Structure formats: structure tokens, C-alpha cells
């Protein structure tokens, strides 16, 4: 039964991180073009998508029997990763200090473009793991009878509440920490998450034969943290950690972080110069 | 007489040029039943593409996940899912039923040799 709690919590964790961070950001930076309605709209759409996708897999398993599901999941994970990166860039641009310099034109256009991006990002964050959770809850819950069913429901609810706790911790952090500190930490968390999604995407492409692994299982750190274990699996899905990474995966991950540092340390200065000249 | 001869020629030509078993990829069966994986150990020839036919004969949902081979798939009760694997180097690859990973019977090994 503890497994039920853990699975519900784990599958909700990623979505809760994204929703929690974005919620804290939007609260601290009220914007005409982008608002909490986009966030909750994305959540609602994501829940619908998760139920729809989960339901489709439950009842039309044959439709998803082949590689169709693989392609679909690959698309979702890559798009989600790209949207997180876009969101981080947007938040840097519209951060508290620079906001008053970006009035009218620039801000509005940045706002509408990211409105759809925000909704899509949240939708994907919820639907990706949500669909698996729907299948798990329905497929496993159905097998329970009487008292077991109640216990199952209680454990699932507890797992969900733990995930909601993550959300509240992030809101609390947004209030307690200085904006700059909170921004840096949450931005870092989102970048790590985007990196993890990139790793998933590359892995799927390797498995489909679209990308060459170069060298499989470069090393094995399963003795330190086994990504097949519960904790290890959670770390793996949130950070992109792999106990036996291929050379390609390592190169992609290294390039990703190099690019992040290059882009983000470069962007800050030019924007400020443009703003002060305007 | 002429027509049946033409038909015979066409049929022979078709049989000759159509590979009857074009995609003969070795398929191995795996059964997942409420957290019990059987067989717990699969021995599969390495260096060749292969397929796994995973059947969920239990009442609860299962999720096959093999991190080293980068494949995962949810299988609902009563359904069978087929996963294709590309040619891989010999070695031992651990896989689990993610929804029942806490059980000792929820883990398995794919041995490629």
C-alpha cells in the first residue's frame, strides 16, 4: 500500500514543481498579459488531457500497441523541455527589476506569446505523468475490494497531499526568501527539470535507433544510486541522472548545461543596456 | 486455357518476388501478473534486434521499465504490449514492473549473450 502512496506522489511531483514555481513567479510578478488564469487553465486542460489519454490507453490498448505511444511521448517530453527553457528566458526578461523598463509594446507581445506557452507547458507537465497515474489508479484500484479499496483511496489521497505539500513549500519559499534568491533557486530547479526531460527525449531517440549511442553504459554508478530503486528512480526523473549513461547522453547533458550558462550569462547585460537606452 | 495460364504465371511471379517472412524478428514472451514477473530471467541473443511481448495477466496495471535499454511501457490488465529493441551489446539489463517495484518478484533480468 505504501507503493500506492509513493507512485501517486512521484507522478505528481514533477507537475507540482512546475505549477508551484510558476504560481509563485506569477504572484510576485502580476502581469497584464500573463496571469494565474493561464496557469489554472493549463492545469484544468492537463487534467482533461491526462484522463483522456489514460482512458484512451485503457480502452484502446491496441491503438497504442506499436510505437505510436513512443512517438507521442517523445514529442511531449521534447516540447515540454523547450517550453520550460522558453519560460525561464521570458521570466528573466520580465523579472521585477526590468519590468518597468519593458512597458507597452515589448511586454505585451512577450506576454501573449508566452500565454500559450505557459498553458501548454502546464498542460504537458500535468498530462505527461498524469496519464500514467490515471491508468495506475484505475487499473489497480479496480482490482481492490471492500476495505482494500478504502485503504487504496486513502493512500492515493495521501500521496497527492504530499505532492500538494511540495506546492505549498514553494509558495512559502517565494514569500520567505528574497525575490532574487527564490528566483535563482526556482530557475535552477526548472533548468534541471528541463535537462531531465531532454535526457528522456534523447534516450527515447536512442532506443528508436534515431540517434547513435556512441558508447553504451559508459559507467555504472548503480552502487551509489540505483536508478531502478524508488529513490533513485525519483532522482532520475527529476534530474536526468542515469546510473549507466551512454556517451551520447553524457555529451548532450554537458552541452545542455554549457549552453544554459552561455545563454543566461549573456542575456542579462544586453537587455539592461537596451532598456536604459529606451 | 490461356487465362488460367496467365493467372498461374502472375501468381508464381507474385510469390517469387514477395518475401513471405520479411520481418522475422525474434519475439520473446514476458508475463506480468500483479507484481510477479515470469520468467524473471530472459536469455536473448545479443547483437540482434528483438521484440518483447508483454502480457498483463493480472488484475492490476503494470509498467514495464528497463532503464539500461531505455524502454518503458504501461500495460493495462488483460492487454498485451509489444516492445521493439534494437541490436544491443551483450550484458545484463535489469528491468522492473514500476507499479510493483517494491516486491522482490517485481524485478527481472534480461541477459543478452
**High-pLDDT (> 70) share of chain B, %:** 83
B23 Cβ under 8 Å from any chain A Cβ: no
Q: Looking at the predicted structure, is the pLDDT value of residue B24 above 60?
A: yes
Interface test with B, best of A140, A243, A248 (most B CBs within 10 A): A140
Inter-chain contact B99–A7, Cβ cutoff 8 Å? yes
Q: Hunting for cell 523541455 — which residue is that?
A: A81
Inter-chain contact A61–B67, Cβ cutoff 8 Å? no
The ranges assigned to domains in chain A are: 2-277
Q: Looking at the predicted structure, is the pLDDT value of residue B20 above 50?
A: no
What number of CA atoms fall less than 13 Å from residue B79's CA on the CB side? 24
Nearest to B98 by CA among B67, B70, B64: B64
Q: How far is CA B1 from CA A10, B5, B15, in A?
A: 73, 6, 21
Nearest to A134 by CA among A71, A47, A45: A47
Calculate how close chain A gets to B21, using CA atoms only, in Å.
19
CATH classification (class only), B23-112 = mainly beta
Q: Is the ipTM of this complex over 0.85?
A: no
Q: How far is CA A270 from CA A87, A132, B84, B105, in A?
A: 19, 43, 49, 58
Say which of A58, A65, A208 has its CB closest to residue B81: A65
What's the pLDDT tens digit per position in B49-92?
999 999 999 989 999 999 889 899 988 888 888 898 988 889 89
Nearest to A54 by CA among A120, A140, A118: A140
A57 Cβ under 8 Å from any chain B Cβ: yes
The ranges assigned to domains in chain B are: 23-112
Say which of A140, A228, A242 has its CB closest to residue B94: A228
CB < 8 Å to A233, chain B: 98, 101
pLDDT at A89: 83
pLDDT at A3: 85
For residues A1-34, b (16+ Cβ closer than 10 Å) or e, as one string? Answer: eebbbbbbbbbbbbbbbbbbbbbbbbeeeebeeb
Going from the first residue of chain A to its last (278 residues), give the mean pLDDT of each consecutive group of 10, the final group possibly shorter: 86 91 82 77 94 86 70 92 88 61 46 74 92 88 84 92 92 87 90 95 92 87 85 89 92 95 70 49
pLDDT at A216: 84
Inter-chain contact A139–B96, Cβ cutoff 8 Å? no
Q: Looking at the predicted structure, is the pLDDT value of residue B21 above 80?
A: no
Inter-chain contact B99–A58, Cβ cutoff 8 Å? no
3-class SS of residue A1: coil
Calculate how close chain A gets to B28, using CA atoms only, in Å.
16
Question: For residues A269 and A235, is the Cβ–Cβ distance under 8 A?
Answer: no
Say which of B63, B91, B96 has its CB closest to residue A228: B96
Q: How many CB atoms lie within 10 A of CB B12?
A: 10
Amino acid at each position: 500500500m505504501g507503493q500506492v502512496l509513493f507512485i501517486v506522489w512521484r507522478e505528481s511531483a514533477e507537475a507540482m514543481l512546475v505549477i508551484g514555481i510558476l504560481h509563485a513567479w506569477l504572484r510576485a510578478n502580476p502581469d497584464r498579459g500573463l496571469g494565474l488564469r493561464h496557469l489554472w487553465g493549463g492545469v484544468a486542460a492537463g487534467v482533461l488531457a491526462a484522463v483522456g489519454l489514460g482512458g484512451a490507453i485503457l480502452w484502446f490498448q491496441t491503438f497504442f500497441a506499436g510505437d505510436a505511444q513512443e512517438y507521442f511521448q517523445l514529442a511531449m517530453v521534447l516540447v515540454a523541455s523547450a517550453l520550460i527553457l522558453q519560460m525561464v528566458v521570458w521570466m528573466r526578461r520580465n523579472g521585477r527589476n526590468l519590468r518597468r523598463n519593458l512597458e507597452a509594446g515589448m511586454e505585451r507581445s512577450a506576454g501573449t506569446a508566452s500565454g500559450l506557452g505557459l498553458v501548454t507547458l502546464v498542460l504537458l507537465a500535468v498530462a505527461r505523468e498524469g496519464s500514467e497515474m490515471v491508468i495506475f489508479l484505475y487499473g489497480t484500484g479496480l482490482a481492490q475490494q471492500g476495505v482494500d479499496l478504502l485503504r487504496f483511496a486513502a493512500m492515493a489521497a495521501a500521496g497527492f497531499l504530499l505532492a500538494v505539500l511540495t506546492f505549498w513549500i514553494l509558495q512559502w519559499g517565494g514569500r520567505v526568501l528574497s525575490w532574487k534568491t527564490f528566483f535563482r533557486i526556482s530557475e535552477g530547479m526548472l533548468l534541471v527539470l528541463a535537462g531531465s526531460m531532454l535526457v528522456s527525449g534523447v534516450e527515447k531517440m536512442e532506443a528508436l535507433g534515431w540517434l547513435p549511442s556512441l558508447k553504451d553504459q559508459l559507467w555504472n554508478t548503480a552502487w551509489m544510486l540505483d536508478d531502478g530503486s524508488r529513490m533513485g528512480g525519483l532522482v532520475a526523473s527529476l534530474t536526468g541522472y542515469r546510473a549507466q549513461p551512454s556517451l551520447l547522453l553524457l555529451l548532450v547533458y554537458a552541452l545542455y548545461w554549457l549552453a544554459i550558462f552561455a545563454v543566461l550569462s549573456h542575456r542579462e547585460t544586453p537587455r539592461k543596456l537596451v532598456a536604459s537606452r529606451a | 486455357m490461356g487465362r488460367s495460364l496467365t493467372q498461374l504465371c502472375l501468381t508464381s511471379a507474385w510469390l517469387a518476388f514477395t518475401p513471405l517472412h520479411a520481418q522475422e524478428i525474434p519475439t520473446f514472451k514476458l508475463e506480468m501478473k500483479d507484481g510477479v514477473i515470469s520468467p524473471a530471467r530472459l536469455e536473448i541473443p545479443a547483437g540482434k534486434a528483438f521484440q518483447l511481448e508483454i502480457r498483463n495477466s493480472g488484475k492490476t496495471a503494470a509498467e514495464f521499465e528497463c532503464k539500461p535499454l531505455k524502454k518503458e511501457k504501461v500495460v493495462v490488465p488483460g492487454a498485451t504490449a509489444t516492445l521493439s529493441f534494437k541490436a544491443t551489446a551483450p550484458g545484463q539489463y535489469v528491468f522492473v514492473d514500476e507499479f510493483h517495484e517494491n516486491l522482490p518478484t517485481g524485478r527481472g533480468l534480461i541477459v543478452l549473450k
